[in-house]
Amino acid sequence: MAAEMGGFPEAYMEGKKVKETSSLVTELCRHFYTQGWVSGTGGSITIKVHDASIPKPDQLIVMSPSGVQKERMEPEDMYILSPNGSILSAPSPKPYPNKLPKCTDCAPLFMKAYEMRNAGAVIHSHGMESCLVTMLNPHAKEFRITHMEMIKGIQGHGYYDELVVPIIENTAYENELTDSLTKAIIAYPKATAVLVRNHGVYIWGDSWIHAKTQAECYHYLFDAAIKLHQLGLDAATPEHGPIQRAIHSQKSGVKDSQNQTEYPWRCIVLDIEGTTTPITFVTDVLFPYARENVGKHLKLTYDTAETQEDIKLLRAQVEEDLRQGVTDAVLIPHADEGKDKVIAAMVSNVEAMIKADRKITALKELQGHIWRTGFECNELKSVVFEDVADALEKWHSSGTKVYIYSSGSRLAQRLLFGNTSYGDLRKYLSGFFDTTIGNKKESRSYKEITETLGVDDPSDILFVTDVYQEATAAKAAGLEAIISIRPGNASLPENHGFKTVTSFSQI
């Protein structure tokens, strides 16, 4: 019988730890019902049976049933699943009018959070705020908010950070969301939640306490964003100022109501290196700093969840590089082979990747964390061209939204614009895009940006870059594109066909 129970003896299945976890699920569902998260039999929760003697990936799973009154559940109503998601124990049927027991329809989605994020608990909420917040912009692919105290309750985020939650489209049946949820988890490695439009939200954490805490913070932030929107205020900008109501001319331009300057775009998306910032600052300051400090950073932060995630991401990238025959890729051993060996392999790969100027997410995430330490210690100070600050302020005051799209991580982008000799320029920026949205030389990346920004006509977006291939990709997606000519930039092909500027004042 034990072999049929996923390797767990019957005594363990009926033991204290499983019973306590089942009781905890019922207790939390009652509490979540009072919050409006699981009313009308909607929503669900799952928790792993914590046992210090069993690695988390191998622990049993308790899941609530589907289609039942969540506030009336009892511990014996729970489903017990094996670590791979197969049902080991199901509740007995209850008399009419109760429905026949059925494991939650969320099970396939819960399992993805367990498998891909090593979660200890997952909550699916139908809270009104998690539904309404996805309707503020029906075309947006992300929810964004910044400069709110409760952001600190979300893993890996601080007050000044921008919280980004992916939004996936709803389907008629819950399990049909599995593929899009999986893609969102891959595309947003730092995310601990995924919103489902017109439906609700999935939230996970290392433990039930962590998942519950984050769920409370997310719902608070969703509610705050809705209320700010009702007041005409923008949750996605640092000052939470008025939502810019652009004045459109017959040519669909945007006019600055103060100086009557007309801009023919609703949004401007800027590259960094060679566009807002000298290439030499990146190649001669940032890259060497990351290369010289990677070993020190890893040793100091090795046991943190953030660094372990960085190691995991880079290891996966290196394994793919080795399959592709990439030169200088060195296999990164697992933790049981020793900290020193892991760090040595990480350093070797990072040095090779920086030398090759690899534009890959795993490297950019780690670099951003190293640079953060540099900025915090005042060892780094950002450099932007002298025309940038004035242009950002002018565009912002006109109601034109300005975004950054760079191969550097969002964290690195925020650090760069938050620590310039002109002060913190993030107050003029509405958001940041990195390679999690796609390669900068592929047109589909710019189509994704267009959809995320909720702009119907791609030509209402201007993209400014110093790279011809990026401008070509943006143009292919329907965006307007201008090439930035700055000192140290690469030469352009003859007859490239793009407008060029040497200063943002010319835009």
Residue type, 273: E
Burial of 304 (C-beta count, 10 Å sphere; 0-12/13-18/19+): exposed
Structure-token match 């700093």, residue found:
289
Contact between 400 and 263 (Cβ < 8 Å): yes
Query: Residues near 384 by Cβ (< 8 Å), separated by ≥ 6?
Result: 276, 277, 417, 420, 421, 422, 425
- Distance CA(367)–CA(409), nearest Å, equals 8
SS3 474: helix
Residue in 149, 169, 319, 376 annotated catalytic:
149
CA 436 to chain centre: 8
149 is catalytic: yes
Rounded Cα distance between 192 and 205, Å, is 7
Contacts 24+ apart (CB under 8 A), 173-179: 173/105, 174/105, 174/106, 174/109, 175/105, 175/107, 175/108, 175/109, 177/109, 178/108, 178/109, 178/112
On whether the CB atoms of residues 422 and 384 are closer than 8 A, the answer is yes
CA 453 to chain centroid: 16
Choose among 463, 346, 468: nearest CA to 405: 463
Q: Helix and strand tally (H, E) in the chain?
A: 15, 18
- Residue 501, SS3? strand
What is the token pair recorded at 134?
């996805």
Distance from C-alpha of 315 to C-alpha of 251, rounded to nearest angstrom = 50
Nearest to 426 by CA among 462, 388, 455: 388
Q: Show which residues are catalytic.
A: 149
